[in-house]
Structure 1
């Protein structure tokens, strides 16, 4: 990609240097003058080649400054070499505001300190990389909060919010970011460093410019609350306090680079209530908004039934609380001195709303679930009901609220005319609509209505121009909070007069005369159809391996599920998710789901990451992926990096020699089965050898295992062999039959688990049967990308289990990762075999069986475990594929006091055992598991169904974990003996 360098006559820069020479000089100087990381490797540039937008602009170098001096040095290098500089926070910008060709400054890595919170003055001073949710926690200790709160608050930075003038649902009560900024310390494109607040003095010529343009400033800028497009120059007016800091908010890094900010805080409402109003459709809901604003709500959000249906398909109906009748809903949050007052206000709103129906949710799980739907909207709306990819670009236009209903009706007509669809939602109280649209970017731009061929960028360009004309006709704004970036800057002439655009250019020239700060945005913008990412990615159909059926078998389509919303960067302790444990440990973009997806996207593109599947950048990017699969459920866009890693390994090593661990750990069940054939001698000998550390360490190294790891103890007799020897029958002939499938780990390494499960199921009234021969699900083959071997094992497993499924018997799995294979990977690898669906549909967890499928005649109830406290480590694959709700219900019914952990244990099967991964594995365990074990009392039980989780706890903390089957059966048997 060509590096764009912008120069102005008389700037004094050395314009003779070519772009490549200038970049080379800049990188050398950055390495000499910046204390933070300076990285111009291909992999790093790939990770930062896009944000959450449609655009792809490969940077020349990525810099992670450690302090303000590093920022000043980087700006000086940019000025003196002419290399463009772009500021970046969490990289969640949807408009392409945070990507650039030259230097990209990542403030999130190190400049993320909250410098002060002053509860008396109700202010906070923050560095640009502070994540909003961290500020909210710090301010919340004083009963305060920052007013604006975009849905990406768990990873959006204050610097990014200031750059885009972010808002969020509570802006209807507290205003935009600009309205909540007191002062900004910045360095501009001339090298000046100053604190901007009230007053225009820091910038020579600004006072004169404002004085000459008062009429224009009063008529074209700040016409309504959500006019976020262009520069917010209305703040320069004397009646607005001549507030330079607020005028710099929303300039998207084109006028100055932020060093720190003082922001205002507001009191937290003591009590809140969420009122949900149902209407026939979204325009009808919008029509009702103006009459409700007089109740002074804290938030007024719109939610479309089609988006709720996506949630149900993606997460299940249990994620959606009961909603009032309707196909479009308003979510209205109100506050009060106490819950009673908030409820009265909520009922008053419902009385005035003229809605079909309404529901009032006090603060609690149901209200939280509603907000979760709203927060995940950007990712969930990324696929239509038909499975087509939907794109941003026209995702946050705003009109005055009194015009919102009419605008929505015309907007739906416009989409119909282009034969595109979208799922509208957004901040209806401010007239701001979010929508992602299935513009034909990935199919080359073929019109679905006419069949005519045209570039996807051309279709998008024409649609955006028509949409801009429509919103301008209502006196609206192209952007209501995300900024213009590369998506909408080229449309500004459809909203502003030529005089207003000229004023914006003259404003920028006072701060950045040589135009080195984020060029191509707002002033002299790039065309809206330039630098598009998806049309530049060719199709990559898979010939073998995973089917990727939901993505038509196209790897390019699958990896472009990642839209960059960055939920993988959220703090799991705050978000309650499991996603991206390696990022939680390193806080490096390389180790986020998004960073990996970007590298894979660049591999598909082929112009930056060369070498295809065998590119070293792909190997390095995927190395620390734990294959936890949490992204498959936690990522609102449905990115499944574990699957992509498995396919990438399959392609990389097909027909080639593999790493040692692929033959040892990757084929561990085969070795276990071979060991089992030696009778009791083999396990005894193996246990003796591995207990002698001087002997064990070289053996571990030879196998590619970190020598600091322990080796699990091998059982003297497998569960399945003992079962067949005893020929056990645990229930009468009239009992419903259930198939107890003992996976390789449970069978050989933890036979006490299936033994306990068999007795427990018998006590519950089931006729328990165990397959006549053992069969492996191929889990370790899958995680190491040996997909042909995995398919062979799954086919064998189908031979064993399918007759039971065909007979209507349920299959119970005990190891979560292996059970998850039967519910997910089995369909990906053997989906063309009708037996695969039968087995997947018949598979249940132990908790699901005991809560939802007890025999009619059963009188079984969970044992009384009141007084038992348990640290509960859900397995990542159970969280991602199977769900943990049934386990929660079962434990609650038993009376267990639960501390449920959020996050991976860090072992993740073969990952934590491999050489080179030990330190990251331990760091992941330190996120939740190890601190919980250190804090636990002596009598606390560690409940962990995953063999890996129990192994990690034993290895790192000396804690013995138990399986749910062991906990319930042991306590139940004890109670029976007492009776």
Structure 2
């Protein structure tokens, strides 16, 4: 047997190398582990990962895999909860090229490629007051490919607006490489000619199914409920034509019948007026009765939460106090009402009150239209799954399943289900779900390491399957897709006739069973108990991670190296291998060493540590904290250097300004091309230790402007302490920008125009908030610089009497988190919006400008103010979509420039119509200028250009 026969995946990689670049053929231990994990509690490590960027590449992969009898699994975002996106064979990942869209019929429809995030689709449709029908809780992270492949629904979607029912057209590649676009008559005609046997087979199955009265009735009953167990058999009774049957069978097929290359949805109205109420009931029975009554009311959603569910979130910040005082056995309904006008909304709220009249509630039913409270109510509901994850014991996983009962039997079903959980020793289980559809999610922590745990879990699932699927005629999987956890129970729920029908469907599409095998259909009765994911303790900072992947959409390194979820996955595997100690095999030791070596770049060096992941994480994990800790361990030997720089910081910044002047001379002499060649060569010779020169590198700033400002005083003016960051003290204006002033000059001019006296702290050239040191893991020096700054700011502000304006957003956030609470820190956007606008006469510029909301601004909740400020100052404002953190990350734009380049892919095309861009971090603006083709400046420059002085109408609070 030759080498290729022994390792068909290596042979496959060689075969694909001629058509797919080597960097997109991935088989190293670190990335196959990291990229191969999804949100489920299963782990399979792919032998080869192929990142495809086109249908042609996909077709080549399928052909080569078919020739070698190798199975393939398709993956979009990997938020799937039931193991649909894991494999131990070939994993096909979607690259950036799969994110296109097309708005059709003035928003009545939208064509989406599978890599488009669900929330992005709704953002595109918002100007038309439309949205896609499916609205899963993971919509900010999950992609259209997964939404369609799992027939995901959600809070307000019900059964009428899921992918199956809002599908207009589909473009799909089958196992044999054939491509069908149902929106293209020529494609349909060609497919009918080439695949007549497949279409005839589907039409034959449809006729047989409709002719089988009991089976047809069962199918109609099952899809009266939410149901994603098995294949979409309703397509066989809903349609006669083979093309229509095919395209609807693809919905919910979990990648087992073909690859969805694009999907066209008929969109639904996005009602703009919204209100919500939390209704508390004394027991589950009365809660379910209220649900049944509300089925006929004009509501958008009714979400049920049992007492255990409410208890899991009652102590979180901002939660209503009433949650803590609810009696045992109580339950709640979150009732959401939407309309297109205030009058219509009011009428619908009154209809809900009338519907519930006579039903006892623990608190009066009160609707809120206040945005913050409305969002809080939904935050309670959406936080239930992760709430269990946050309190589980380290080493255990979180199981979430979703079943559906006939809604008229919901109260019986809930009682029976609760009894089953208690019987098998799961008293901590929480129940919640989309009550109008009889759809319940149950969530509980589960360990698999201790003796008897697997058997206990099996006994529980056996009884749940019997109860829901047989005794109540419900759905074992209502909206999360069948996956590996329920594949062994499909026949139990559906019966042998329907089950064999599903196998016939699979055989028609994929006779060799190469597309995502063991998902949906499996003849392995213990499949759900195999390949369970280990979750060992790795670090208290991240041990609560449930690997959901919600963080990935905002991560700047997601298209370059690893995401926060993937960084945690690898750290856990390293911890597991470490724990083996002397019992580790030679292969395990080698694997550990490879992972550790590769993690230095993949996990540590290319992490921006921006904290955006924490804003999306259901349990608030900031993976940047983990990375900073790892940098601390790695850089212990550099503590002395950090101390010397910190203690001589004025000198260090003078050296940096000198280097900028030298770079300017070099650019003038050599030109941009020559400078790029010389600096690139020097960087290479230094082992990548020297920073990368970039054409957008600015002039050196002059801090003499601070010395002049410090000498000015005006007792009649309101005072503000102005803290220029070390970045703005070093980095002046861009060389090729019409705005020739430094940020310090702009800030001081604007404060003067608005009637403020700027107080400059003592020794301004020496001050630093410490963030530059903390980001590199030099915590001791970071603390020293923070204490030093704290002392000087307390003196300058008279112990917090005067507010402090820092001209750089990331520094402002860091200072807020680490300095004295008496200090009132303001960053540029908030200060300008809240305290400068009212003092200035504004005349909007007749320009289109771009805005980059920095990661720190997002974390401080300033995105809306940022955009609002820009819209006051310019007639048109562009906020580039899906550009979150720019990846410059302080100095990484110089030391790891590929991170900045990757994070800003697609920016230039979105801002091509803009005269300039504006942000609130000088370093970020360098990278943004480099990759956008337009100059980026401080947002204070925009305000200064659009304003003139007038008599102050308001003073700064506390001044």
TM-aligned CA distance change 1:866 to 1:684, over 3 Å: closer
SS across alignment from 1:396: strand
TM-aligned CA distance change 1:470 to 1:406, over 3 Å: same
In structure 1, which of residues 768, 774, 783 is the aligned counterpart of residue 775 of structure 2? 783
- Aligned equivalents of 2:15 and 2:40: distance in 1? 31
Task: Name the counterpart of 2:650.
Answer: 673
TM-aligned CA distance change 1:111 to 1:877, over 3 Å: closer
Task: Name the counterpart of 1:433.
Answer: 440
Compute the displacement of 1:218 (Å).
3.5
Answering whether residue 96 of structure 2 is matched by residue 96 of structure 1, we say no
Compute the displacement of 1:249 (Å).
3.9
TM-aligned CA distance change 1:706 to 1:914, over 3 Å: farther
Task: Name the counterpart of 1:178.
Answer: 164
Task: Name the counterpart of 1:574.
Answer: none
User: In the alignment, is the contact (CA less than 8 A) between 1:819 and 1:843 conserved in 2?
Assistant: no
Task: Name the counterpart of 1:26.
Answer: 12
TM-aligned CA distance change 1:280 to 1:368, over 3 Å: closer
Answering whether residue 379 of structure 2 is matched by residue 373 of structure 1, we say yes
SS across alignment from 1:611: helix
Task: Name the counterpart of 2:290.
Answer: 288
- Aligned equivalents of 2:313 and 2:874: distance in 1? 31
Answering whether residue 815 of structure 2 is matched by residue 822 of structure 1, we say yes
User: In the alignment, is the contact (CA less than 8 A) between 1:276 and 1:330 conserved in 2?
Assistant: yes
SS across alignment from 2:840: coil
Answering whether residue 490 of structure 2 is matched by residue 483 of structure 1, we say no
Which has the higher mean CA deviation after the structures are superposed, 762-771 or 913-922? Answer: 762-771
- Aligned equivalents of 1:115 and 1:684: distance in 2? 48
1:123-202 to structure 2, matched below 5 A, reads: 128-129=114-115, 131-132=117-118, 146-172=132-158, 174-181=160-167, 201-202=200-201
In structure 2, which of residues 820, 823, 834 is the aligned counterpart of residue 839 of structure 1? 820
**1:221-269 CA-partner distances (Å, limit 9, x unpaired):** 7433212222333432488888633662456346421355665625536
In structure 2, which of residues 23, 27, 47 is the aligned counterpart of residue 60 of structure 1? 47
- Aligned equivalents of 1:800 and 1:426: distance in 2? 54
In structure 1, which of residues 325, 328, 333 is the aligned counterpart of residue 332 of structure 2? 328
- Aligned equivalents of 1:767 and 1:590: distance in 2? 44
In structure 2, which of residues 882, 903, 907 is the aligned counterpart of residue 926 of structure 1? 907
- Aligned equivalents of 1:369 and 1:808: distance in 2? 33
Answering whether residue 686 of structure 2 is matched by residue 693 of structure 1, we say no
TM-aligned CA distance change 1:488 to 1:687, over 3 Å: closer
User: In the alignment, is the contact (CA less than 8 A) between 1:299 and 1:332 conserved in 2?
Assistant: yes
SS across alignment from 1:331: strand
SS across alignment from 2:529: coil
Task: Name the counterpart of 2:347.
Answer: 344
In structure 1, which of residues 516, 519, 522 is the aligned counterpart of residue 517 of structure 2? 519
SS across alignment from 1:610: helix
TM-aligned CA distance change 1:633 to 1:20, over 3 Å: farther
- Aligned equivalents of 1:613 and 1:794: distance in 2? 35
Task: Name the counterpart of 2:739.
Answer: none
Task: Name the counterpart of 2:580.
Answer: none
Task: Name the counterpart of 2:225.
Answer: 225
Task: Name the counterpart of 1:907.
Answer: 888
**1:489-534 CA-partner distances (Å, limit 9, x unpaired):** 234465344665455445534544443222222322453232222x
- Aligned equivalents of 2:151 and 2:939: distance in 1? 50
- Aligned equivalents of 2:472 and 2:9: distance in 1? 45
Compute the displacement of 1:167 (Å).
1.8
Please list every run of 5 or more consecutive structure 1 residues that lacks an aligned counterpart in the other structure: 1-13, 445-452, 542-550, 570-578, 827-837, 855-859, 937-941
Compute the displacement of 1:58 (Å).
0.9
Answering whether residue 616 of structure 2 is matched by residue 616 of structure 1, we say no
Task: Name the counterpart of 2:468.
Answer: 471
- Aligned equivalents of 2:896 and 2:632: distance in 1? 20
1:899-978 to structure 2, matched below 5 A, reads: 899=877, 901=879, 903-904=884-885, 907-914=888-895, 916-917=897-898, 920=901, 923=904, 926=907, 931=912, 934-935=914-915, 944-951=919-926, 959=935, 961-962=937-938, 975=951
In structure 2, which of residues 822, 843, 849 is the aligned counterpart of residue 867 of structure 1? 843
Answering whether residue 575 of structure 2 is matched by residue 568 of structure 1, we say no
Answering whether residue 514 of structure 2 is matched by residue 532 of structure 1, we say no
User: In the alignment, is the contact (CA less than 8 A) between 1:277 and 1:357 conserved in 2?
Assistant: no
Compute the displacement of 1:131 (Å).
4.8
The two structures have a TM-score, normalised by structure 1, of: 0.73
Which has the higher mean CA deviation after the structures are superposed, 37-46 or 761-770? Answer: 761-770
The two structures have a TM-score, normalised by structure 2, of: 0.75
Which has the higher mean CA deviation after the structures are superposed, 222-231 or 766-775? Answer: 766-775
Compute the displacement of 1:307 (Å).
7.7
Q: Please tell me the root mean square deviation across aligned C-alpha atoms, in Å.
A: 5.6
Compute the displacement of 1:910 (Å).
0.3
SS across alignment from 1:105: strand
Task: Name the counterpart of 1:630.
Answer: 612
Compute the displacement of 1:352 (Å).
1.2
- Aligned equivalents of 1:924 and 1:671: distance in 2? 38
Task: Name the counterpart of 2:27.
Answer: 40
Compute the displacement of 1:112 (Å).
4.8
User: In the alignment, is the contact (CA less than 8 A) between 2:854 and 2:919 conserved in 1?
Assistant: no
1:692-711 to structure 2, matched below 5 A, reads: 692-694=665-667, 703-711=690-698
Which has the higher mean CA deviation after the structures are superposed, 103-112 or 607-616? Answer: 607-616
Task: Name the counterpart of 1:353.
Answer: 356
Compute the displacement of 1:127 (Å).
5.1
TM-aligned CA distance change 1:863 to 1:747, over 3 Å: same
Which has the higher mean CA deviation after the structures are superposed, 886-895 or 809-818? Answer: 886-895
- Aligned equivalents of 1:160 and 1:307: distance in 2? 27
- Aligned equivalents of 2:941 and 2:393: distance in 1? 39
Answering whether residue 412 of structure 2 is matched by residue 401 of structure 1, we say no
Compute the displacement of 1:540 (Å).
2.9
**1:737-781 CA-partner distances (Å, limit 9, x unpaired):** 998766544566679479849978997899997699955332222
- Aligned equivalents of 1:34 and 1:943: distance in 2? 38
User: In the alignment, is the contact (CA less than 8 A) between 2:76 and 2:146 conserved in 1?
Assistant: yes
- Aligned equivalents of 1:416 and 1:289: distance in 2? 24
- Aligned equivalents of 2:747 and 2:402: distance in 1? 57
User: In the alignment, is the contact (CA less than 8 A) between 2:430 and 2:442 conserved in 1?
Assistant: yes
User: In the alignment, is the contact (CA less than 8 A) between 1:646 and 1:785 conserved in 2?
Assistant: yes
In structure 1, which of residues 884, 893, 897 is the aligned counterpart of residue 862 of structure 2? 884
**1:848-891 CA-partner distances (Å, limit 9, x unpaired):** 9979999xxxxx99413432569685763532543328966996
Compute the displacement of 1:97 (Å).
0.7
User: In the alignment, is the contact (CA less than 8 A) between 2:748 and 2:758 conserved in 1?
Assistant: no
SS across alignment from 1:56: coil
